[in-house]
Amino acid sequence: MSTHRNGLLLANVSRRHFLKGLAASGALVIAARWDLSLAQDEEEASYGADGMPHGWVDDPNVFIRIDEDGTVTVVNHRAEMGQGIRTSLVMVVADELGADWDRVRVEQAIGHEERYGNQDTDGSRSMRHWFDPMRRAAAAARTMLEQAAAEHWDVPVAECHAGVHMVIHEPSDRELGFGELAAAASQLPVPERDSLRLKPRDEWRYIGRENVKTDRPLAIDGEDIVTGRALYGADVVLDDMLYAVIARPPVYGATLASVDDSAALAVPGVIRVVEVQGTGQPAGFEPLGGVAVVAENTWAAIEGRRALEIEWDTESAGDNASYDSEAYRQLLEESAQSPGRVVREQGDIEAALADAETRLEATYYMPHLAHATMEPPAALARLVDGKAEIWAPVQSPQAARDGVAGRLGLEPEDVTVNVTLLGGGFGRKSKPDFVLEAASLAREFEGRPVRVQWTREDDIQHDYFHAVSVDRLEAGMDGDGKALAWRHRTLSPSIGSLFGPDPKHKVDFELGMGFTATPFDIPAMSLENPEAEAHVRIGWYRAVYNLPHAFAIQSFVAEMAEAAGHDHRDYLLELLGPARQIDPREINEGWNYGEDPERYPVDIGRLRAVVEKATEEAGWGRKLPEGRGLGLAVHHSFVSYTAVVLDVEVDDGGEVIVHNADIAFDCGPQVNPERIRAQMEGACVMGIGNALHSEITVSEGRIEQDNFHQYLIPRISHAPRTVRVHLINDSPEAPMGGVGEPGVPPVTPALCNAIFAATGKRIRRLPIGDQLAS
């Protein structure tokens, strides 16, 4: 197995426990069926898509179908959660095939990684892992159409070229539509991968273009969304359907002691009350357990649950039952005073700190956060004759499939997972616990479809929370403010705690998110990771550990610049040092988002370029009115580079108004620049929300927030008045980076730096809340 490259080893080991009778397959077994030799060669490298479970597939017969009427259907096997992948991957196929947008349709794949390759829609990697395979699949299909035309006309294939939705024979001025050729082409062998001609950029009509004119909107689901026809997890309606909500243990690891369901059963519409088995700790992707109320409609189920009288046993929860987030913050801050496991070291940190003219120290705190996707988790399941069918909004349909199979004692091939649109994902829906709940209930009501609906309270109280974090930084500078020493201790509970004994340290992929590869040119550095325990379910939340790392590091650089009396931008550029490429292995960063360290070095030149672009566009250094300031931050994550400058006002009441955002973003080649801009705009709002208001607190192991009146997320007034996204480095030579997540991490520190510029107040503890009111 080579899955460790992508940091998902834990998750995949866990889910493979349920793969009865199926040997845990190597990442490339499936991709190998097209060309075994190449696949085997690449298995040794096992980077990028090669390093993912089930690897990649580029067989056109899997992804592309052409009907006789010319309709091209593209199978999209990645989850759509707002990033636009159903549009962007189809653009890739349409362009390479030569298809006309108005005659292209998309079909959503079921969860089936042996057929489609890896489907985990997370880690900002759909496009960077699938651009090449999808291009090859489409180029192969185009070649087959050209071959079919050549045979039909009995002319050399070299004289036949695909135009827009047709193949043309120029010497005789004849043409045949894709639809007319489809049947014959489908009988032809798939051409050798090495023989394929990929279109040069100047032949692209959709890829990399903005403002493309098409009769049908480019956004595949746009019309369905604005007319209410788009189908999300709770929108699939089947005959004879049942509706369930579940009361879950209020403390992670607690179990059901007793339940009195008499009042619940008396609620009109309630049919049955059923216990759902949890698996205790660690929870993995399994349900938390609890009591389900199954009814004729959702409202009856909610009313029935309200009427349950439940006693929970918190003994099995151990320490979790006394978890208090405020006490925990203090504990982590104390722990940050002592050395921790050394992750990376260069020079003599103690000597360098001792020799420093000026020393600076600061501790930053970021609380737990909840994903709060606008669509709360929901899943529909039906079990008939030993076969389960699922409809659910899942980021990892194969994990859902394996999990359901394990729970119901079925083989994965007896489980069909239909993937609906996701009403937001952000990492929450990579965990299929809610799907497994529906599967458990489907077993209780065999033959009848059962939908489990999470309420907002369920969602906020039983999330896989973003890890709380404390980051303590120390720096030593010489008399000119030049940095000589940098010590960073980072503390957070680990996602690893979901899958086995709590590692109590961040694991490699967590440290690899913006900590280990801290890109500064400082003679003495010590990066350390003291212990921290997990007491709630911890999970991936958009950009994950990059959020606290970027918040702390980019805030601290601004504090250093201030202490040194230097301009923040100039100081940041000096810390980054000259443009150069650093092999991540040389700075102890072995994970590197699963990507080849030679193809994807830490590129200081790209970091510098986004800083220079964002500050230039924002008019860095310009004079602003009293109470208003510019804040800057930069971050490298998901092998992309983002710099943000925010123009922020703090009014007399301490309210923060973000006037403008200038975001410079370098993800290398841009497939769908319009959606990249949209991702940056949304990431900016999410980063502002993470800073301003959002906080999950815990007392006696119980989450203290339960809906949007307590767990605050940004509203329209919190969005910047203008967001300008500056996309740079759309170069075919640049390695393609991620888009969905890398926009978020620098926003929060940029905001806090702007607040400092506006008010002189330094925010070290999030959320900002009412800290600016005075």
Partner 1 sequence: MVTLTINGQDHELDVPDQMPLLWALRDVVQLTGTKFGCGMAQCGACTVHLNGEAVRSCVTPVSQAQGREITTIEAIGDDEVGQRIQQAWLDLGVAQCGYCQGGQIMSATALLNREPDPDDAQILEAMAGNLCRCGTYNRIRQAIHRAAGHEEEQA
Binding positions for partner 1, rule: CB under 8 A: 80-84, 217-219, 221-232, 234-235, 237, 243, 268, 297-299, 302, 372-376, 421-426, 453, 455-457, 674-675, 678-679, 681-686, 689, 707-709, 713-724
Burial of 374 (0-12, 13-18, 19+ CB in 10 A): exposed
Nearer to partner 1, 45 or 238 (CB): 238
Nearer to partner 1, 570 or 651 (CB): 651
In the complex, the smallest distance separating the C-beta of residue 638 from partner 1, rounded to whole angstroms, is 18
Q: For residue 482, what are its two tokens?
A: 């030049």
Q: For residue 334, what are its two tokens?
A: 């104390």
- Greatest Cα-to-Cα distance within the chain, rounded to the nearest angstrom: 84
In the complex, the smallest distance separating the C-beta of residue 688 from partner 1, rounded to whole angstroms, is 8
Nearer to partner 1, 210 or 350 (CB): 210
In the complex, the smallest distance separating the C-beta of residue 317 from partner 1, rounded to whole angstroms, is 27
In the complex, the smallest distance separating the C-beta of residue 99 from partner 1, rounded to whole angstroms, is 21
Q: For residue 537, what are its two tokens?
A: 């379910």
In the complex, the smallest distance separating the C-beta of residue 431 from partner 1, rounded to whole angstroms, is 17
Residue type for position 364: Y
Q: For residue 96, what are its two tokens?
A: 């390479």
In the complex, the smallest distance separating the C-beta of residue 242 from partner 1, rounded to whole angstroms, is 11
Residue pair 525/344 in contact (Cβ under 8 Å)? The answer is yes
Nearer to partner 1, 133 or 397 (CB): 397
Nearer to partner 1, 228 or 760 (CB): 228
For tokens 């992929």, name the residue: 509
Residue pair 677/664 in contact (Cβ under 8 Å)? The answer is no
Nearer to partner 1, 223 or 260 (CB): 223
Kindly give, in sequence order, each residue whose CB lies less than 8 Å from that of residue 367, ignoring residues fewer than 6 positions away: 325, 329, 468, 694, 695, 696, 697, 766, 767
CA dihedral of 583, 585, 591, 592, whole degrees rounded to 10: -10
For 379, other C-beta atoms within 10 Å of its C-beta total: 32
Burial of 760 (0-12, 13-18, 19+ CB in 10 A): exposed
CA dihedral of 254, 245, 79, 5, whole degrees rounded to 10: 10
Give the DSSP H/E element, type plus range, for residue 637.
strand 628-637
Give the DSSP H/E element, type plus range, for residue 257.
strand 255-260
In the complex, the smallest distance separating the C-beta of residue 378 from partner 1, rounded to whole angstroms, is 8
Residue-by-residue DSSP string for 675-708: HHHHHHHHHHHHHHHHHHT--B-EETTEES--ST
Q: For residue 140, what are its two tokens?
A: 């192969």
In the complex, the smallest distance separating the C-beta of residue 470 from partner 1, rounded to whole angstroms, is 26
Closest CA to 256 of 277, 282, 242: 277
Q: Regarding beta strands 469-477 and 450-453, do their DSSP bridges make them parallel or antiparallel, or are they unpaired?
A: unpaired
In the complex, the smallest distance separating the C-beta of residue 632 from partner 1, rounded to whole angstroms, is 20
In the complex, the smallest distance separating the C-beta of residue 456 from partner 1, rounded to whole angstroms, is 4
The DSSP call for residue 366 is: E
In the three-class reduction of DSSP (H, G, I as helix; E, B as strand; rest coil), residue 390 is classed as: strand
In the complex, the smallest distance separating the C-beta of residue 559 from partner 1, rounded to whole angstroms, is 28
Nearer to partner 1, 83 or 494 (CB): 83
Peptide bond into 742 cis (omega under 30): no
In the complex, the smallest distance separating the C-beta of residue 677 from partner 1, rounded to whole angstroms, is 9
Closest CA to 16 of 26, 8, 24: 24
Nearer to partner 1, 510 or 741 (CB): 741
Nearer to partner 1, 541 or 638 (CB): 541
Q: For residue 432, what are its two tokens?
A: 């299929």
Nearer to partner 1, 222 or 523 (CB): 222
Nearer to partner 1, 142 or 462 (CB): 462
Nearer to partner 1, 421 or 643 (CB): 421
Closest CA to 492 of 462, 526, 465: 465
